[in-house]
Amino acid sequence: MADDGFREFLRELTEPLGGVTFRKMFGGLSIYQDGMVFALEADGSLYFKVDEETRERFIAEGCPQFEYTTKDGRTAQMPYWRAPERLYDEPDEFIEWCRAAVAVARRSEAIKAEEKSRKASRKRKGTADTL
């Protein structure tokens, strides 16, 4: 579990991004901007949300993907990868990586909204067909 000093450090680092909020979850933190999770803190490490557009930069830095063990003992992965530690000493670049993770969160939300809209449309069409 992370200490409060690391969490306060993360608050300071993300401050220039603006509108960042933190919420406790499962012993760690979810880090939000505009209501969207773009990063996690778990066990004293920061993980940014990643997609196909940003994954290669994490691989190039040798950063691992966030994993956890499920109740049945399986290993599960989430679309978050550990931030390179060097970013803690490079605040401007840190904010660039935050912005990239926020963009991933926005793309993810847009995909979810589109899928929800399609599902609702199919449901309406199915209902109309049965009338």
Q: What percent of the chain has pLDDT over 70?
A: 93
Higher pLDDT, 5 or 49: 49
Asked if the model's pLDDT at residue 1 lies above 70, the reply is: no
> If pLDDT is split at 50, 70 and 90, which confidence band does 27 have?
confident
Q: What is the mean pLDDT of residues 45-70?
A: 96
- Tell me the pTM: 0.83
For residue 103, give every residue at least 6 positions away whose Cβ sits within 8 Å of its Cβ, in sequence order, or none: 53
Helix (H, G, I), strand (E, B) or coil at 122: helix
What per-residue confidence (pLDDT) applies to 130? 52
Higher pLDDT, 15 or 121: 15
Query: CATH topology for 4-130?
Result: Yope Regulator; Chain: A, (3.30.1460)
Per-domain residue ranges for the chain? 4-130
